[in-house]
Every structure is written in structure tokens, then in C-alpha cells.
Amino acid sequence: MQIQPVAQQPGKPALRSGAIIGIALGIIHSVITIIVTQMNTVSQNTYGSSSGPSPTTTILYLLTPLIWIIGFLITGAWASKDTGKISTGSLAGLFAGTFGGVIAGLGQVVATGIAINQQSYNPGGSNLLLFSGFAAMFYVMALAIGAGAGLGALGGLIGQSMSKVRPQPVAQPVYAQPILPYGYVQPQPMPMPSPQVPLPQQPEMPRLPEQ
């Protein structure tokens, strides 16, 4: 007889996969953001503000959300494979979005600081860059958390199909018998008297006349 693997608690696999992949996604997003900001700043200082984004910048912009989507799907599938539950994948995606969103937001702040230091001194432009940097930080965090929960559930569906663990059925509650005091004898129910059914009487035979 083959023994089924025991399902783990959903919190531990979700936190493990969510933290590892979420931190990796946040670092990748921060590196891409800093590179794109550096390239845009150099392009503006060289060719002026009228020049459009370079092909490399456009590819990096398109590649960033694809990396997040793949990462969230892997997070949900990895977590749900250990427990066999889709809810574990959704929880793992939420953790990944939280960790990744915080790190990506910090990377956005760093990229904004680099852009402010490399541009010519312009108080109005610096304030605008600072405001847009903080707005982008909160936007990335909110988007990462929301997308992480949804795509993590989709990845959890994939992980559940690959998992060898099957969720155990919920046990029905067992109601305990009341504790009776010592020496107490529970009265037995009195038997109900059965109804008396009268027996059928035989008809009397007519008497013969005496001789």
C-alpha cells in the first residue's frame, strides 16, 4: 500500500517561496529601473529632451512586467505543490508581492535620486522627479501586492495539479457524553404497554332438543 505524503501547514511553504522569489523579483526590478533611469538621463543630457526612448529602454520596459508575471506563477506553483491547496499559492503570491514591492519601491527611490543628481540644477524639475519617484514607488507596491495574490492563485492551481499531496477531509465534530456524578444511575425509559387485543369469540352451537 502506497502511503500518501502528509500535507504541510500552508503558512510555512507560502512564506518560504514568497520571500525567496519576492526578494529576487524586487532586486531584478530595481536593477532594471536604475539602468533605464541611467540611460534616459544620459540620453537627455546628450541629445536633449526631444529624443525618444531607445530600443533597449523599450525592451526593458516590456520585459519587467513579464518577469513579475512569471515569478508570481512560479511562487504559487512552488508553494501549492507542497500542500496541494490553491489557497497556499495565493498566500505565497501575496508574500512575494509584499517583499518584492517593498524592494522595488526602494529601487525606485534610488533611481529617482540618481536622476536628480545627474541632471542640471533645476528646482522645479527636481521636485517633479521626486514627486513622480514616490508616486511610482507606491504604485509599484500596490500593483505588486494585488497581482501577486491573483497570479499566485493561478500558479497554485498549476501546483495543485502537480502535487502528490491530497488535502485531508475535514473531520466531523464529536460530541462528548455528559459526565454524570458518581453513583448516579441513569433511569431507563419505561416500556410502553402494548394494547390488549381481544380474542375473537367462537359462536355458540345451538342445543339439540332432548328426547
- Would the pLDDT of 196 be above 70? no
Q: What are phi and psi of 188, to 5 degrees?
A: -85, 145
Q: In the chain, what percentage of residues exceed pLDDT 90? A: 21
Residue 203 belongs to a domain: no
Residue 6 belongs to a domain: no
Residue 69 belongs to a domain: yes
Residue 118 belongs to a domain: yes
For residue 210, what are the CA distances in angstroms to 65, 203, 205? 125, 21, 15
Residue 136 belongs to a domain: yes
Residue 54 belongs to a domain: yes
SS3 label, residue 135: helix
Q: How confident is the model over 20-32, as pLDDT tens digits?
A: 999 999 999 999 9
Q: Given pLDDT bands bounded at 50, 70 and 90, which one contains residue 95?
A: very high
Please compute the mean of the pLDDT values over residues 157-185 and round it to a whole number: 67
Predicted pLDDT at 3: 44
Residue 56 belongs to a domain: yes
The domain in which residue 87 lies consists of 15-162
DSSP annotation of 154: H
The domain tally of the chain equals: 1
Residue 70 belongs to a domain: yes
Which among 139, 145, 155, 188 has a CA at the least distance from the CA of 78? 155
| 188 or 56, greater pLDDT | 56
pTM of full prediction above 0.75: no
